[in-house]
Structure 1
Amino acid sequence: MLTYHEVMTTDFGGLNAAADKWQEMAEEFHKVEKRYRDSVQKITMDGTWLGDSSVRAHTNFAATRYEYTAAQTQAKATATLLRNAHQQFTDLKKQLENARADAIKAGMKVSEQGNVEFDYAALTEAERAATRHDPDYAKSIRESVQSWTEYIKSCVKAVDDADGDLKKDLEAVVKDGQGNKNDGTPGTGFNGDAGAVAKSDDKQKQDRLDLAWLEKRDNETLDDYIKRLQRDGMTRLTGNPELAKLVSQVSNGAITVGAFAGSLTAAGLYSYKLVKVLKGDIPHAPGTLISRTINTRLAGAPPGSLLSRIPAGAVSALTGSDEAAMFGGYMRNGAFFMPTASEANLARVASQGGLANAAKAAGWLRGAGVVGGVASTAYGVANLATYDTDMIKANPSKFATDLTGTAFSASMTALTVAPNPVTLGLAVGTGAAYAGALIWDNHEAIGKGLDKAGDWVGDKASDIGDGIAGGAKKLGSALNPFD
């Protein structure tokens, strides 16, 4: 793989010089092909030479002219590949140089080998003391160094990928096909289809320049990948990386606070409900409080009132059908129990009355919760699958958060589908574990993250406005990953 030093010190000017020579070669082949057509091949085409020898000569001469034509195509395609490579390598090197300059501007030092370190010498004595005594400040420095290191590595990797593609394309452009019309040397002559290789290279070059930032990086979880896309996308849209960073911090902080509140609610509220259920109460599925409230008010609506005019079918479609829920009836304390829509075990309803009745019993509100829970759990499992041993060792608190968060999502989905003491207990346990992991991994976001974001807004409001205004001019190159 290419190194940072190799990319930064290589002069790519020779590629254009070589491309010019290949173009000149194509022009020379064209002159030779024209002379051959007019002086040699012509004698088999004027009708004065007849017989078997003429037929054989006609075939051989056509094959020779084909090779002259194919040689032109191959030489032009090679020139195109080299010019594309020069432009691409030059652009990617410039992006790497800009990344280095931005890193230095952000307080980093970048060595000749591309190693990134924080420039402590640029700090005041008070700031240096803060790095030793303020854990949050020290952590932010480590995260910043890691971020810039990954960014510079991704710039180098883009050049290395382009170099590998150029090698493959140069090997492909000289491989003759299995024979076009008049090709007398299939597999061993010049490549008359070399233009297709150059055309494909054009697309590859544009895809790399436009879409490299969308690729998932090594040692990046699915969750980290989604967050980076959010931050990088905002940067390209507004032209203001500080605004993008703020949006990402506020979003992550809000999500973290919301998840923390949700997990604590589950641990506390469902513990209370579990006790009541164990004493004989009937559990209701999460998210059905509104449904029960609506159904109670409709049941008590006086004749002729506005609520009494709402079609029963519309209400049951939203809140769930009690009639369909009856398929989930079961023996309880020696008597047959008929659950309401909010009490029904959807798995039991589906088993005894089919999926259609299970959907009716769930209603739109509860059904949306089930679908969302399944999707969230599937995302969590996919995210966990992107971890490897080294990533877990490097950030065990984040892995614990993702693991317990996925378990909590799965248990809440199970509780929504089948409210019973077992699923209630799982929700309590996983909720408590998730809350603990969130405290471990995100105590800054829970405690101080939003306050810091608010302070930043107060100090930088005018800068944000300027950044958005300037960023609007950059929409034409919004997909350029290093613009």
Structure 2
Amino acid sequence: MLTYSEIMTTDLGGLATAADRWNEMAGELNKVEQRYGDSVQSLTTARTWLGESATAAHTNFAATRYEYQAAQTQAKATATLLRNAHEQFTELRKQLENARADAVKAGMKVSEEGRVAYDYERLTPGERSALHHDPDGARSVREAETAWAEHLDGCVKAFDLADQDLKKDLEAVVRDGYRGGNDETFGTGFNGDAGRVSAADDKARDDRTNLAWLKMRDDETLDDYVQRLQRDGIAKLTGNEKLADLVDKFTKGAITAGAFASALTAAGLYSYKLSKALRPPFTHPTAPGTFLSRQFNMRLAGAAPGSLLSKVPPGLATAITGSDEAAMYGGFLRNGAFFMPEAAEANLVRVAQNGGLANAAKAAGWLRGAGVVGGVAATAYGVANLATYNTDMIKADPAKFASDLTGTAFSASMTALTVAPNPVTLGLAVGTSVAYGAALIWDNHEAIGKGLEEAGDWVGDRASDLGNSVKDGAKKLGSALNPFD
């Protein structure tokens, strides 16, 4: 296996120089082939040479010319492999150099052999003494040293794997395994099929460097496409497929957990609010995300003179939480009496109809306005994602289609409730949240109870610790994403 020192000190320029020489060799071999065809092989076509010797010479001369052609193919393929290797090795060494620089910035020393150790010389004598007597600090140092050492080792291993691939390809290029045409030296001559090896290497290089992976595939939904870009982007940046798979699992798990938490919260909370809106004494629903704004306004109204809250400009508070004065344009008759809504209760469509868009924006405030914009964006994304489905894709994975469909309906109903809180939009939010939660369970039933088992198999105890963190983070994410009061 290659070492850190070998990678950092080897002159990679020799690969590019060798590639040029192999291409030049292919050109010289072409000249020899042409001369051979004109001077030697042409003798077998002359009328003066007849008989069995002429027939044998024709076969042998054609075989010799084939070897000249195969030698050119082999030389060009070798040049391609060396040039691609030079490009890849340069990129991989740059990654190793960057990793070393990052380690040094993080307080590490990296020796010429690649050994990582904490740089205590950067500390003052007092800091070194404090760290020496702090068990937690010493443990943190050891963990940091291990983490950076593993990071550099990963870069070295990636370089070594590329070097092994080059060795394998070079051995394949010189192996004469093609028997066809005028090849009379099967297994012992030049490889006329060497182009396949270099073509495969070219494709692998293109897969690493071109942007074809950014194109959306025919059998992909928009949601699949976005998730694949995230996963493939990590793989290409790090060169670590397993890391990309692990991050993809964690990300998808956290998003699913957050979505499920939001759906359950909406189903439970809004079922309660719907019952209050439909039974006496009737209460008017408030828009999602307005609970905090109402509490904030109550605190401002009761703020003691000279306190911090009393110094908040009224205009700023109104801009954030919504204007009750603008919300008056949304007043309406309810149970024979005229109802004057607060900002949190106002139907923004009715406010816009009676007082214009400017008053609707004032009644919404920044917090509720952000919810409307986010809801519209989420709904538009969901509709665009559903548009990428075809009949075959739905049949292949009906559970995923169901979760995408109900998720889009949930976003749309929540947007409608944010814009126009009333019993109808409240009921739609309850119904779609229940459907979305059920669809998520159907779509992810195999993963429920298993957690991150596959990831744990790869990273052991660390993945277990990280899995617990992810689950905790998912709960917090679900709470943070929940705009409901």
Query: Structure 1 length as normaliser, TM-score?
Result: 0.52
Are residues 1:289 and 2:268 paired? yes
Match of 1:128 in 2: 128
TM-aligned CA distance change 1:225 to 1:143, over 3 Å: farther
Are residues 1:381 and 2:453 paired? yes
Letter of the aligned partner of 2:432 in structure 1? L
Letter of the aligned partner of 2:67 in structure 1? E
Mapped to 2, the partners of 1:384 and 1:42 lie a distance apart of: 70
Letter of the aligned partner of 1:144 in structure 2? A
In structure 1, the residue corresponding to 2:117 is in which secondary structure?
Answer: strand
Are residues 1:364 and 2:436 paired? yes
Retained in 2: the 8 A contact 1:221–1:386? no
Letter of the aligned partner of 2:275 in structure 1? T
Match of 1:98 in 2: 98
**Shift of residue 182, structure 1, vs aligned partner:** 2.2
Match of 2:107 in 1: 107
Mapped to 1, the partners of 2:277 and 2:444 lie a distance apart of: 28
Match of 1:213 in 2: 238
**Shift of residue 9, structure 1, vs aligned partner:** 3.0
Retained in 2: the 8 A contact 1:44–1:57? yes
Deviation string, structure 1 residues 217-254 (Cα, Å, up to 9, x no partner) = 6xx79656867x99xxxxxxxxxxxxxxxxxxxxx9x9
Are residues 1:198 and 2:198 paired? yes
Q: Which has the higher contact order (CA 8 A, sep 6+)?
A: 1
In structure 2, the residue corresponding to 1:117 is in which secondary structure?
Answer: strand
TM-aligned CA distance change 1:226 to 1:148, over 3 Å: farther
Identity %: 47
How many residues align structurally?
Answer: 307
**Shift of residue 174, structure 1, vs aligned partner:** 0.7
RMSD: 4.5
TM-aligned CA distance change 1:178 to 1:385, over 3 Å: same
Letter of the aligned partner of 2:189 in structure 1? G
Retained in 2: the 8 A contact 1:222–1:382? no
TM-aligned CA distance change 1:54 to 1:148, over 3 Å: same
Residues 377-386 or 118-127, more deviating: 377-386
Mapped to 1, the partners of 2:163 and 2:140 lie a distance apart of: 35
Retained in 2: the 8 A contact 1:18–1:82? yes
Deviation string, structure 1 residues 360-400 (Cα, Å, up to 9, x no partner) = xxx3344335645754645522222224xxx43xx5xx636
Deviation string, structure 1 residues 182-204 (Cα, Å, up to 9, x no partner) = 22233332111212222322343
Match of 1:318 in 2: 432
Mapped to 1, the partners of 2:426 and 2:112 lie a distance apart of: 74
**Shift of residue 165, structure 1, vs aligned partner:** 0.8
Structure 1, unaligned runs of 5 or more: 231-251, 263-284, 321-362, 410-434, 439-445, 447-483
Are residues 1:399 and 2:464 paired? yes
Match of 2:170 in 1: 170
Match of 1:89 in 2: 89
Letter of the aligned partner of 1:202 in structure 2? D
TM-aligned CA distance change 1:87 to 1:22, over 3 Å: same
Mapped to 2, the partners of 1:366 and 1:215 lie a distance apart of: 35
Letter of the aligned partner of 1:37 in structure 2? G
Deviation string, structure 1 residues 78-136 (Cα, Å, up to 9, x no partner) = 23323333343344334323332332233211122211011011112343344345566
TM-aligned CA distance change 1:68 to 1:131, over 3 Å: same
Retained in 2: the 8 A contact 1:29–1:72? yes
Deviation string, structure 1 residues 405-446 (Cα, Å, up to 9, x no partner) = 89xx8xxxxxxxxxxxxxxxxxxxxxxxxx8xx9xxxxxxx9
Retained in 1: the 8 A contact 2:176–2:191? yes
- Counterpart mapping for 1:14-163 below 5 A: 14-45=14-45, 49=49, 53-132=53-132, 137-138=137-138, 140-163=140-163
Retained in 2: the 8 A contact 1:4–1:156? yes
Letter of the aligned partner of 1:399 in structure 2? S
TM-aligned CA distance change 1:121 to 1:226, over 3 Å: farther
**Shift of residue 66, structure 1, vs aligned partner:** 0.9
Match of 1:10 in 2: 10
Retained in 2: the 8 A contact 1:176–1:188? yes
TM-aligned CA distance change 1:109 to 1:206, over 3 Å: farther
Structure 2, unaligned runs of 5 or more: 210-234, 283-333, 336-420, 477-485
TM-aligned CA distance change 1:127 to 1:167, over 3 Å: same
- Counterpart mapping for 1:236-255 below 5 A: none
Retained in 2: the 8 A contact 1:380–1:405? no
Retained in 1: the 8 A contact 2:274–2:426? no
TM-aligned CA distance change 1:174 to 1:225, over 3 Å: same
Letter of the aligned partner of 2:70 in structure 1? A
In structure 1, the residue corresponding to 2:452 is in which secondary structure?
Answer: helix
In structure 2, the residue corresponding to 1:188 is in which secondary structure?
Answer: coil
TM-aligned CA distance change 1:291 to 1:7, over 3 Å: same
Match of 2:356 in 1: none
